[in-house]
């Protein structure tokens, strides 16, 4: 609501009327009661006007003339109606704002948050994992969906996140709905298969959602879940960083269980579902980058008991500057064309890459982090 519309609203008119009454009663009291006094100040008249308008009546300043008392009576009578109406309007606005927030109709005012587009029952496991990874920091979560209010209330009760949880109500395929979740300052975004939709429609909305996201927030990491494998390529082209096909991993897990049930126990522990060491992410230090794989693995195992299993290169946004040669006249000419035309020189996201169990001689200076299996009693990093 802009300022002109606010002035035309009922609350705006009440504020203006109250301000005018304060102004005229201040000037009137100063002119009638204080004008001839040597120590008369406008601030005294303003204080009297506020006390009288709100009918507080401290009694430290009272009119002694007949015109002054008439003015005081008029201010008190007017103040009762104005202040009551103003207070009622403010309370009504606060209740309305709270109701709109509960219904997911307001824009979210948070940053470094996680956005979930769509909803299904498996999302509870996703949120539990996110809480574990962000601890001890608080996870701020925004769920964008067209769920009914009763379902949203049930989700809020089950998650018990208080003000750290916000809802945005509407279709995830619409950019104006997604924009209310403030995606340009989000940490990352998850797009889920939606309950109540068939596989084809759910994937179609996921594609539209990612396309809208890339318009609103080109650099935010987007991780998507789809129902049909044939739509994976479409979602990648739309701009998703990583895609999980529903049932793909569980199918392979069941196949491994046929070879040995211990396979499932092993992966349960890696995912943090068992009572043994789980897979954790460990960022590199400057000292780590000066070693090779063999040296770093030995040091970590001796110090913490954790077992390094992979070296990671984190993804990064590539631009033309990263791939063109500054010494080449042709490449410089291409860059000048992009700059003068005002076109975006971004080439998209590269990576991440994971090297499983590299050779002992592999230098770590080009890597960013490790994946390690934590020891049962060890301290988790990352």
Q: What mean pLDDT is predicted for residues 29-37? A: 80
Q: Is the pLDDT of residue 380 over 50?
A: no
For the whole prediction, is pTM greater than 0.75?
Answer: no
Q: Is the pLDDT of residue 290 over 60?
A: yes
Q: What mean pLDDT is predicted for residues 330-353? A: 57
Residue 346 confidence class, pLDDT cut points 50, 70, 90 = low
Q: Is the pLDDT of residue 45 over 70?
A: yes
Q: Is the pLDDT of residue 326 over 70?
A: no
Residue-wise pLDDT for 200-218, tens only, equals 999 999 999 999 999 999 8
Q: What mean pLDDT is predicted for residues 352-375? A: 89
Instruction: Output Rg (C-alpha) for the chain, integer angstroms.
Output: 32
pLDDT at 85: 85
Q: Is the pLDDT of residue 109 over 90?
A: no
Q: What mean pLDDT is predicted for residues 176-195? A: 93
Which has more confidence, 22 or 375?
22
> Of the given ranges (103-112, 223-232, 309-318, 357-366), which has the lowest mean pLDDT?
309-318
The three-state (H, E, C) secondary structure of the chain, written as one string? CCHHHHHHCHHHHHHHHHHHHHHHHHHHHHHHHHCCCCCCCHHHHHHHHHHHHCCCCCCCCCCCCHHHHHHHHHHHHHHHHHHHHHHHHHHHHHHHHHHHHHHCCCCCCCCCCEEEECCCCCHHHHHHHHHHHHCCCCCCEEEEECCCHHHHHHHHHHHCCHHHEEEEECCCCCHHHHHCCCHHHCCEEEECCCCCCCHHHHHHHHHHHHHHHHHHCCCCCEEEEECCHHHHHHHHHHCCCEEEECCHHHHHHHHHHHHCCHHHHHHHHHCCCCCCCCEEEEECCCCHHHCEHHHHHHHHHHHCCCEEEEEEECCEEEEHHHHCCCCCHHHHHHHHHHHHHCCCCEEEEECCEEEECCCCCCECCCCCEEEEECCCCCCCCC
Q: What mean pLDDT is predicted for residues 277-283? A: 84
pLDDT at 103: 66
Q: Is the pLDDT of residue 345 over 80?
A: no
pLDDT at 268: 79
Q: Please state the separation of Cα 62 from the chain's center in Å.
A: 54
pLDDT at 87: 84
Structural class in CATH, domain 114-246: alpha beta
pLDDT at 80: 85
Question: Into which CATH architecture does domain 3-103 fall?
Answer: Orthogonal Bundle (1.10)
Separation CA 59–CA 61 (nearest Å): 5
pLDDT at 360: 93
Q: Is the pLDDT of residue 90 over 90?
A: no
pLDDT at 335: 58
Cis bond before residue 203 (omega within 30° of 0): no
Q: What mean pLDDT is predicted for residues 254-271? A: 81
pLDDT at 382: 40
Domain residue extents for the chain: 3-103, 114-246, 276-373
> Of the given ranges (9-13, 76-80, 106-110, 125-129), which has the lowest mean pLDDT?
9-13
Residue 250 confidence class, pLDDT cut points 50, 70, 90 = confident
Q: What mean pLDDT is predicted for residues 122-139? A: 86
pLDDT at 144: 94
- Average pLDDT along the chain: 83
Residue 9 confidence class, pLDDT cut points 50, 70, 90 = confident
pLDDT at 132: 80
Q: What mean pLDDT is predicted for residues 7-22? A: 82
Residue-wise pLDDT for 133-177, tens only, equals 777 788 999 999 998 888 988 999 999 998 899 999 999 999 999
pLDDT at 276: 73
pLDDT at 272: 74
């Amino acid at each position: 609501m802009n300022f002109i519309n606010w002035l035309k609203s009922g609350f705006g008119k009440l504020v203006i009327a109250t301000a005018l009454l304060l102004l005229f009663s201040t000037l009137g009291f100063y002119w009638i009661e204080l004008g001839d006094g040597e120590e008369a100040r406008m601030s005294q008249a303003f204080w009297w006007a506020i006390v009288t308008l709100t009918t507080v009546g401290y009694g430290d300043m009272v009119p002694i003339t007949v015109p002054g008392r008439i003015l005081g009576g008029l201010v008190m009578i007017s103040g009762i109606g104005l202040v009551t109406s103003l207070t009622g309007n403010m309370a009504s606005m606060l209740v309305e704002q709270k109701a709109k927030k509960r219904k997911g109709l307001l824009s979210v005012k948070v940053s470094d948050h996680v956005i979930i587009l769509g909803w299904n029952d498996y999302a509870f496991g996703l949120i539990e994992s996110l809480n574990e990874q962000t601890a001890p920091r608080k996870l701020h979560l925004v769920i964008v969906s067209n769920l009914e209010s009763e379902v949203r209330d049930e989700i809020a009760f089950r998650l018990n996140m208080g003000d750290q949880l916000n809802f945005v109500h509407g279709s995830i395929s619409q950019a104006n709905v997604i924009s209310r979740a403030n995606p340009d300052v989000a940490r990352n975004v998850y797009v889920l298969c939606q309950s109540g939709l068939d596989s084809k429609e759910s994937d179609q909305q996921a594609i539209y959602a990612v396309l809208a996201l890339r318009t609103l927030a080109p650099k935010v990491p987007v991780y998507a879940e789809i129902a049909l494998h044939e739509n994976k390529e479409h979602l990648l082209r739309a701009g998703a960083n990583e895609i999980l096909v529903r049932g793909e991993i569980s199918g392979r897990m069941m196949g491994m269980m046929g070879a040995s049930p211990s396979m499932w126990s092993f992966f349960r522990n890696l995912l943090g579902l068992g009572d043994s060491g789980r897979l954790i992410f460990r960022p590199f230090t400057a000292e780590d980058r000066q070693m090779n794989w063999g040296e770093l693995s030995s040091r970590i195992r001796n110090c913490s008991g954790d077992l390094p299993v992979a070296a990671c290169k984190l993804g990064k946004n590539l631009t033309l500057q990263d791939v063109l040669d500054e010494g080449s006249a042709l490449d410089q000419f291409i860059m000048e064309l992009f700059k003068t035309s005002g076109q975006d020189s971004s080439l998209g996201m590269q990576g991440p890459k994971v090297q499983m169990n590299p050779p002992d001689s592999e230098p770590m200076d080009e890597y960013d982090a490790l994946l390690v299996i934590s020891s049962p009693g060890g301290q988790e990093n990352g």
